[in-house]
């Protein structure tokens, strides 16, 4: 089960006018707890008076950096009127201590570094701060798998908005024959139409017919519109849906969730949850807050971050009963088929529900 620890900020690197990389120093005794797979994220917690705020940011460093030097980095882009991102990109100082949850998330390739005689071709499409987990994925695969290749299409408005520009150039210099990077800019004209504009269905179709042929798996990260359009275009282009993996980095364009069932306003379901080896039962209204909100009143240790159906921190196994999820942008179809749900988006449908937090 994920837990919080106090980590010291060891470095802050400005990436663009509105983005930075924040590095935490992980003491040796906690490195096993913070061991991660490329593509995972960290949840940060900040107390302001009596208010607790949590935000999730993907890890941009590699597992080797953590194991060898205790370095753990996230990428942060300031969101207009976003108090948490403004604090991280503007007010936070080296030497300060931050509450950081141990790594979570299921985005990213499995089995990185395992022996593979023929290697694999991984395709990545990112936009804006969606490059953060993709950078960790690309750097780790290229370093750990000498026969594997990575293709990256990265969309931004201008060159000045490109996060990790130098790091991507360094990767390209180290692996010139195994890494292909296409920078797609919507606010600057370029020599090729493929590189001008936004990453959309047309560009994805062009990539599939040319530089992105024979990709083993695709990893998409960015705003809702870009991820949705790219996923649909890849599937339409013949890529098996199970080979397309996505993570949202911006939920502002996500449609509002559907309203909860109001037909039984005074009826409550008995929801039993198992968390950290302990079982609790709470009464949850069919028409009220989500199961997660009800559980938090009795079990404040329940895991959560975004509460928007995006990060997947609150995923749980549905052991019995039935729930309705208002929306889901974190679970893959096979995970839903296996009975996983997002507690922050789940409302009871049956009189009794049993969940086991993962």
Task: Output Rg (C-alpha) for the chain, integer angstroms.
Answer: 21
pLDDT tens digits for range 198-211 = 999 999 999 998 88
* Predicted pLDDT of residue 251: 53
Query: Are residues 130 and 241 part of one domain?
Result: yes
Instruction: Indicate which CATH number applies to the domain containing 137.
Output: 3.40.50.80
Query: Are residues 245 and 132 part of one domain?
Result: yes
Single out the residue in 67, 101, 135 at which a domain terminates: 101
Instruction: Indicate which CATH number applies to the domain containing 24.
Output: 2.40.30.10
* Predicted pLDDT of residue 200: 94
**Residue 2 CB-density burial (10 A; 0-12 exposed, 13-18 middle, 19+ buried):** middle
Is 23 inside a domain boundary? yes
Is 92 inside a domain boundary? yes
Alpha helices, H only, the chain: 63-69, 83-86, 131-144, 165-174, 201-209, 224-236, 291-298, 333-337
Rounded Cα–Cα distance for residues 226 and 72 (Å): 28
Residues of the chain with pLDDT under 50: 253-255
Strand partners, 138: none
CA-to-CA separations, 83 to 29, 74, 79, 80, 196, in angstroms, rounded:
32, 17, 8, 9, 33
Is 232 inside a domain boundary? yes
Judge whether 76 and 15 are in contact, CB under 8 Å: no
Structural domains of the chain, count: 3
* Predicted pLDDT of residue 262: 57
Is 263 inside a domain boundary? no
Is 71 inside a domain boundary? yes
Is 108 inside a domain boundary? no
Judge whether 42 and 72 are in contact, CB under 8 Å: yes
Query: Are residues 241 and 155 part of one domain?
Result: yes
Rounded Cα–Cα distance for residues 348 and 358 (Å): 19
Closest-CA residue to 357 (of 295, 298, 286): 295
Rounded Cα–Cα distance for residues 156 and 171 (Å): 19
Check residue 255 and report its DSSP letter: P
Query: Are residues 142 and 91 part of one domain?
Result: no
Check residue 196 and report its DSSP letter: B
Domain residue limits at 39: 4-101
Is 160 inside a domain boundary? yes
């Amino acid at each position: 089960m994920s837990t919080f620890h106090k980590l010291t900020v060891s470095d802050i690197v400005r990436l663009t006018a509105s983005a930075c990389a924040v590095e935490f120093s992980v003491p040796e005794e906690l490195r096993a707890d913070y061991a991660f797979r490329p593509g995972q994220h960290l949840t940060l917690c900040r107390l302001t008076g009596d208010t607790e705020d949590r935000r999730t940011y993907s890890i941009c460093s590699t597992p080797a950096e953590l194991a060898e030097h205790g370095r753990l980095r996230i990428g942060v882009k300031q969101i207009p009127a976003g108090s948490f991102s403004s604090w991280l990109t503007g007010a936070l100082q080296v030497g300060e201590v931050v509450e950081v949850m141990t790594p979570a998330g299921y985005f990213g390739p499995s089995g990185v570094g395992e022996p593979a005689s023929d290697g694999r071709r991984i395709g990545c499409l990112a936009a804006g701060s969606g490059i953060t987990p993709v950078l960790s994925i690309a750097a780790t695969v290229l370093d750990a798998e000498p026969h594997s290749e990575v293709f990256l299409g990265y969309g931004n408005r201008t060159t000045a908005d490109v996060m990790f520009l130098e790091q991507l150039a360094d990767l390209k210099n180290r692996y010139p024959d195994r890494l292909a990077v296409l920078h797609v800019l919507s606010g600057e004209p370029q020599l090729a139409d493929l590189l001008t504009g936004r990453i959309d269905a047309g560009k994805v179709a062009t990539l599939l017919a040319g530089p992105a042929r024979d990709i083993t798996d695709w990893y998409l990260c960015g705003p809702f519109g870009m991820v949705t359009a790219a996923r649909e275009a890849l599937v339409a282009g013949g890529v098996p849906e199970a080979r397309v993996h996505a993570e949202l980095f911006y939920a502002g364009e996500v449609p509002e969730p559907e309203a909860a069932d109001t037909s039984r306003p005074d009826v409550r379901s008995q929801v039993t949850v198992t968390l950290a080896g302990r079982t609790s039962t709470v009464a949850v209204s069919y028409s009220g807050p989500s199961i997660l909100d009800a559980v938090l009143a009795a079990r404040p240790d329940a895991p959560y971050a975004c509460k928007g159906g995006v990060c997947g921190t609150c995923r749980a196994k549905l052991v019995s009963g039935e729930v309705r999820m208002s929306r889901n942008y974190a679970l893959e179809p096979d995970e839903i088929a296996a009975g996983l749900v997002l507690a922050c988006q789940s409302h009871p449908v049956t009189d009794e529900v049993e969940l086991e937090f993962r």
